[in-house]
Structure 1
Amino acid sequence: MISAMGGAGTNVALETADAALLVPATMFGWATMGIAVLIHEGATVLMVLNALHLLRFVHASIGRAAPTGAR
């Protein structure tokens, strides 16, 4: 299911949530800078994979025969 923002909006929301959680975690010492970088890069890979699934999308009109009488 794609939100009203579309597929690109989902990636933007995930990236924003990633930064919003990791900045305070690093500032308060809950995560080291190295761990935060690894989590951020892992989230980036997941977002790329999420975006790549759009390549599998096939529009309903593709592959349909032309209507009778069409030029």
Structure 2
Amino acid sequence: MAVTLTPEQQEAIIAARGDQSRQMDGMAKWEIMFTDGKHSTMLTDQCRDRESALLGAIERFGAKVKDVR
């Protein structure tokens, strides 16, 4: 399945590539920020850094995702 990124998502991914502060082992907890201002928690053992967590959230929720922290 191909995912189309919005310009805001592309900027967030570029910013996330340089962010190495959140590499984790085991279960990770990420906060997904949506374009409508809502937030949600994502628990995963597969997304070790912010870039992979952002890509995973975009794959799941599409254009609704603004960023991940």
Larger gyration radius, structure 1 or structure 2 = 1
Q: Same fold (TM over 0.5)?
A: no
More helix by share: 1
State TM-score, norm by structure 2: 0.35
Q: Flag the structure with more relative contact order, 1 or 2, with Cα contacts below 8 A and sequence separation at least 6.
A: 2
State TM-score, norm by structure 1: 0.34
